[in-house]
Structure 1
């Protein structure tokens, strides 16, 4: 069974990735706590590539990384790669987006998730981006999820991420879409790892 290092120190993200990758014969491990990768990319895919590559080289193992966030059209794509740093808490980040949008009629937005898989030498073997289109509400709805979930309305489902069950969110989210796109290629690559 091959070991693939997940380029995160977050045990919650490791558990989430195990769920998405459960059909693969891999052992997933967290990156070393003292290994920090500065996210300096201008796009989600640049950050995912950077994290996967640096962790792969440092550990001499295959490594998988993701980078994701919210992109609001009327805000020029903000918060974008700064989604997690757009405030000190989820409430701060939500309030900032709502304040900056004001009464703007164009509420279109999308969640984006970029995933990259790097070989032990740091070269990128696979990558993809999943996108979930939606709109920003004027106030939060629902109590589930985290981050921007209460204000992100998925038109195709008629509810926010915060109103979805975990199973629904996994299916319709940007991360679910990205892993669905990536899984067939990962299964083919599984023998090389």
Structure 2
């Protein structure tokens, strides 16, 4: 009997990536969408803190297991911005991309890192799994590719020679910050399953 787990996000891009992962790698967990909007103030100063805030808020509000991720882009030349404010950098993806391009105008250091923290919390609000993933890349001067979401069209991964938005879902999962965090999560879920019986 699969154990139910609510994804503490209304982002359709995140849902697609998490759902695909759970179907392929964690069949004993049934991932469910957030049934109702739950406002969580992301007041943490790190991705880990915000992932924990979201997972705990949803788990305790619904009395169910919950999983949350907090992820974002840290650009070296901008002092790590947008960082934990990546989703709130501008009203929508297009505006966020335009703002980042404006702020990077004339800057030669294009180094950036995508971060992802994922937390799994039980119905009592206790943390049962916590993982992080990183992906290093560069910020392009113009968007490339039609896939992905968020800053994906600007984030170029040198080893692959593509932006996240140009990669297939399989390619992206292999190198991305979320893909790396999910692979680490797979190990923790297996350990958790053995403990829960």
**Which category of TM-score, normalised to the shorter sequence, fits these structures?**
over 0.9
CA distance in 2, matches of 1:175, 1:144: 16
Whether 1:100 aligns to 2:70 is no
Are the aligned partners of 2:46 and 2:84 in contact in 1 as well (CA < 8 Å)?
yes
The match for 1:5 is 6
Show structure 1 runs of 4+ deviating over 4 A. none
Residues 72-108 of structure 1, C-alpha deviations (whole Å, 9 max, x = no match): 0110111111111211222221121111122111110
* Equivalent of residue 65 in structure 2, options 34, 37, 62: 62
Indicate the residue corresponding to 1:161 in structure 2: 164
TM-score (norm 1): 0.92
Structure 2: how far apart are the matches of 1:41 and 1:167? 31
Q: Which residue of 2 aligns with 1:21?
A: 22
Deviations 1:109-145 (A, max 9, x none): 0111110011211121111111110011111222222
SS of residue paired to 2:5: strand
Which deviates the most, 36-45 or 152-161?
A: 36-45
CA contact (8 A) 1:9 1:33 kept: no
SS at structure 1 position matched to 2:49? helix
Which of 130, 141, 145 aligns to 2:144? It is 141
- Larger mean Cα displacement after TM superposition, 7-16 or 60-69: 7-16
Is the Cα contact below 8 Å between 2:59 and 2:123 reproduced in 1?
yes
User: Residues 125-172 of structure 1, C-alpha deviation per residue, up to 9 Å, x if partnerless?
Assistant: 111111110011111222222221111110111111121112111211
The reply to whether residue 152 of structure 1 matches residue 150 of structure 2 is no
1:174 matched residue in structure 2: 177
User: What is the TM-score with the length of structure 2 in the denominator?
Assistant: 0.91
8 Å contact from structure 2 (residues 22, 30) kept in 1: no
Matches within 5 A, 1:33-52: 33-52=36-55
8 Å CA contact 2:22–2:31 kept in 1: the answer is no
CA distance in structure 2 between the partners assigned to 1:127 and 1:114 by the alignment: 7
- Cα deviation for residue 11 of structure 1 reads 5.2
CA shift in 2, pair 1:164/1:34, >3 Å: closer
> Which structure 2 residue ranges, 5 or more long, are not aligned?
none
Tell me the number of residue pairs that the alignment of Structure 1 and Structure 2 aligns. Answer: 193
